[in-house]
Chains A and B, each alone.
Chain A
Amino acid sequence: MTDVTITVNGSVRSASVPPETTLLKLLRDVFQLTGTKLGCDVGDCGACTVLVDGMAVNACLMLAAQADGRQVLTIEGLAMKDRLHPLQKVFEESGALQCGFCGPGMLLSAKALLDDNPDPSSHDIRDALAGNLCRCTGYSKIVEAVQDAARAMRDPRTEDTRQLEMHGHD
């Protein structure tokens, strides 16, 4: 057995797992963080994307032991206590997801991009999300949503204005 201690969504958590345990298995089966999805389990689909020290990785391709001592962010840790992350908010409002299975991975890949590049071009976004497969949406609304979220995160006032535009006539 291997002892692993990682900081998941801000909390320090430890487990003793067989050495072949992947980070994905640790998150889902041991820590019960099932927001991270098991898709192909061989690194093709990106549904299991999480951030490790801020970098987007396929949790199915990383051993739990390799994450020892590192910071892991999963979809459960993306929202603040009282409000959604701007990416989640825009994804929800714009119908960017359909069945939603790719959503957790898509959102975390997008977060890694925006943390690194707050003003990405459409091609930058497509490039950053190329490892996250989506069978429903054709990616159009996802790419637009990331652009909208980037705009909102660069200038919080823009987000307020957009909110007014969207909800001002209710």
Chain B
Amino acid sequence: MKRRGRGIACMWYPIGFTVDANPSAAVVKVNEDGTATVLTGTVETGQGSLTVLGQIAAEALGIAADDVHVVSADTDVTPMDTGAIASRTTYVTGNAIRLAAENAKAILFETAGPMLQVMPSQLEARDRKIQVKGFPQRSVSIGEVAKRAQVGLGRPPIGSASWNPPTVAMDPETGQGKPFSTYVYATQIAEVEVDDETGEVDVLRIVASHDCGTPINPMLVEGQVEGGISMGIGFALQEEMLFNAQGCQINPNLTNYIMPTSLDMPEIVVDIVENYDPTGPFGAKGVGEPSLVPTAAAILNAIHDAVGVRITSLPATSEKILTAIKAKRAGERKQVPA
């Protein structure tokens, strides 16, 4: 019969390694039409990082995300970036872009100060304008300021910056230290149905609570978490590279290396736990890889809750689960006095 169970798993995950140099550099250029151009060496792989990086530049400059054009991943022209790896892009590259935008903004403020007859420190950038703090009606458009900076002051509003999470060497004796700049946390709960006659598992629902600092783009955070969960489900129940004695993979294609399809995916509830990390750009940390870390553990705990067996090797195939159920039943029969 089909038995239901629930399992829970928690995780933390490091963001921004510090044992080696881990820099990102960026250039932000404010144009005379009030738009901005960002140059970054990082690459978009579909996760939406360029959208998030554009949003960070826009937030720093007081313009709309649509006003920002991001040029990326052209080693001829874009500044160095350690890469779209280790869930570091929002955090490390984002910090570099925020700082570069702040540097460009400083030039805008120095230009706008005399235009508005205040000190640059009394200015803020909002709604595509440079305005006096507390007196938003005293303002001038960012495009106009950018043009004045270029042709009046001879200082085009261009900022460049790099950011490297402070490198801290490990203690050579103990191997201990501060290996990462910050950490993210998550809890996932899986609800499963296990057929105790076949060992087959159906994942019914996964609820995922993730702290990624400030979620700069919540829709993209959800996309990362949902995608991670599908990988976690494959890891838990389906995916396994099989090798023969000669070390050749015997399932090198999608006919027999089985990954989740749309029919294998349960209902997913993503719960973004808003947090603020003072070291991240506008409080953000990261979300990519962490999304799949707790999934398999939650599912295996749910299987235990449903049928009382602990599976300790992945994937938890029907064969393994049924064998464990049979062993458990045999053990229970032995304990009954004759």
* Chain A residues with a Cβ under 8 A of chain B: 40, 42, 44-45, 94-95, 97-100, 125-127, 129-143
Evaluate contact between A42 and B253: CB separation under 8 angstroms: yes
* Nearest neighbor of A122 in chain B, beta-carbon distance: B267
Given known pairs A44-B255, A99-B45, the reply for A137 and B263 (CB within 8 Å) is no
| Cα distance, A95 to B218, chains bound together (Å) | 11
* Range class of the B interface residue count: 20 to 34
Interface residue ranges of B221-269 to A (CB < 8 Å): 222-223, 226-231, 253-255, 259-263, 265, 268
* Nearest neighbor of B265 in chain A, beta-carbon distance: A139
Given known pairs A42-B253, A44-B254, A95-B220, the reply for A130 and B263 (CB within 8 Å) is yes
Which residues of A sit under 8 angstroms from B228, Cβ to Cβ? 138
Evaluate contact between A136 and B253: CB separation under 8 angstroms: no
Top 10 closest A-B pairs, CB basis? A99-B46, A98-B46, A138-B230, A138-B226, A44-B254, A140-B226, A126-B262, A139-B262, A129-B262, A130-B261
Query: A46 to nearest B CB, angstroms?
Result: 9
| Cα distance, A2 to B140, chains bound together (Å) | 69
Which residues of B sit under 8 angstroms from A94, Cβ to Cβ? 219
B48: Cβ under 8 A from any A Cβ: yes
Which residues of A sit under 8 angstroms from B231, Cβ to Cβ? 135, 138
Given known pairs A95-B219, A95-B223, A141-B223, the reply for A132 and B254 (CB within 8 Å) is no
B121: Cβ under 8 A from any A Cβ: no
Interface residue ranges of B1-55 to A (CB < 8 Å): 45-48
Given known pairs A98-B46, A130-B262, A133-B259, the reply for A139 and B253 (CB within 8 Å) is no
Which residues of A sit under 8 angstroms from B45, Cβ to Cβ? 98-99
Say which residue of A44, A99, A125 sits within 8 Å of B262 (CB atoms). Answer: A125
Most buried by B among A42, A130, A138, A141: A138
| Cα distance, A45 to B229, chains bound together (Å) | 19
| Cα distance, A145 to B229, chains bound together (Å) | 19
Query: A165 to nearest B CB, angstroms?
Result: 15
Query: A104 to nearest B CB, angstroms?
Result: 14
Evaluate contact between B259 and A135: CB separation under 8 angstroms: yes
Evaluate contact between B254 and A133: CB separation under 8 angstroms: yes
Evaluate contact between A140 and B48: CB separation under 8 angstroms: no
Say which residue of B47, B220, B265 sits within 8 Å of A138 (CB atoms). Answer: B265
Evaluate contact between B219 and A137: CB separation under 8 angstroms: no
Say which residue of A45, A131, A137 sits within 8 Å of B227 (CB atoms). Answer: A137
Query: A61 to nearest B CB, angstroms?
Result: 13
* Nearest neighbor of A141 in chain B, beta-carbon distance: B223
Which residues of A sit under 8 angstroms from B254, Cβ to Cβ? 40, 42, 44-45, 133
| Cα distance, A130 to B47, chains bound together (Å) | 22
A-B contact pairs, 16 of them (CB 8 A): A40-B254, A42-B255, A44-B255, A45-B254, A98-B48, A127-B262, A130-B261, A130-B262, A135-B259, A136-B46, A136-B47, A137-B226, A138-B227, A139-B260, A139-B265, A141-B222
